[in-house]
Amino acid sequence: MNKFVLASGSPRRKELLAFLDIDFTIEVSDICEDLKETLSFPEIVMDLAFQKAQHIAKNHVDTYVLGFDTLVISNNQALGKPKDRLDGFNMLKELSGESHLVLTGCAIVYNDTVDMFYDGATVHFNRMTDTEINEYLDTNEPFDKAGAYGIQGYGAKYIKKIEGDYYSVMGVPLQKLYNKLRDL
């Protein structure tokens, strides 16, 4: 029987992995993320996912450790989690009425074997008024999310459409991960 560890404390990732019907434990990888700016955005999300998985895999032999990382990319800039309310407001103002790219990388580490991949989607936002942005910030949902929004929560009402993998926007490239795991 395969053993799995999710190297993330994200409730969304836990929820999505449960759809794959695998038994897994959770160990939060609290590494200081080393963002290598010379890499492309797809390479960055895969590398950060690998850093997280590798950190946890050091303590797990014969176990599949799953690491993930998500980037929101607007105007060729990566948007992380907002530092404070003003930062969140500015991110949402930038996304308002525009389209942006969301990429999620995955790394599967098993002993000395590593498999990395990513998927993503283009998200089209409705225009948001300053009042709507402030009301959304009042929900506190944006503060632990890259790009200052959650597509699966209150932020859903501001999404006009999505092109690509919805689950990657939530933080797990679910279909690609399923295809990798079913062959183990």
Active site residues: 69
Asked if residue 132 lies in contact with residue 123, where contact means CB atoms within 8 angstroms, the answer is no
CA distance 123 to 80: 16
Determine which helix (DSSP H) or strand (DSSP E) holds 54, and give its type and residue range: helix 41-57
Determine which helix (DSSP H) or strand (DSSP E) holds 134, and give its type and residue range: helix 130-138
Asked if residue 95 lies in contact with residue 168, where contact means CB atoms within 8 angstroms, the answer is no
Q: Quote the Cα angle for 27-30-32, to 5°.
A: 150
Asked if residue 130 lies in contact with residue 88, where contact means CB atoms within 8 angstroms, the answer is no
CA distance 43 to 53: 15
Which residues are bridge partners to 77 per DSSP?
74
Q: Any residues with CB less than 8 A from the CB of 81 and at least 6 apart, and which? A: 143, 144, 145, 146, 148
Asked if residue 74 lies in contact with residue 80, where contact means CB atoms within 8 angstroms, the answer is no
